[in-house]
Amino acid sequence: MIETVKSLLFTESERETIYECRRCGTGVDSPSSTCPSCGNEDIASFHTR
């Protein structure tokens, strides 16, 4: 039953990818960009459920 509820609440279309600078934590628009705050090119990606 829990899996059924999860599948209804968290569909594939509602998932989102968030990109964030590994140095300072600032959110960025895409993984290929540099951080607007510190210029770092190492961008992490996180997938929400």
pLDDT one digit per residue (tens) for the chain, 49 residues: 777 766 666 665 667 899 999 999 999 988 888 999 999 999 999 988 7
Q: Is 4 exposed, middle or buried (0-12, 13-18, 19+ CB in 10 A)?
A: exposed
pLDDT at residue 32 in the model: 83
Global model pTM greater than 0.85 = no
Query: What's the pLDDT score for residue 22?
Result: 96
By three-state DSSP, how is residue 14 classified?
helix
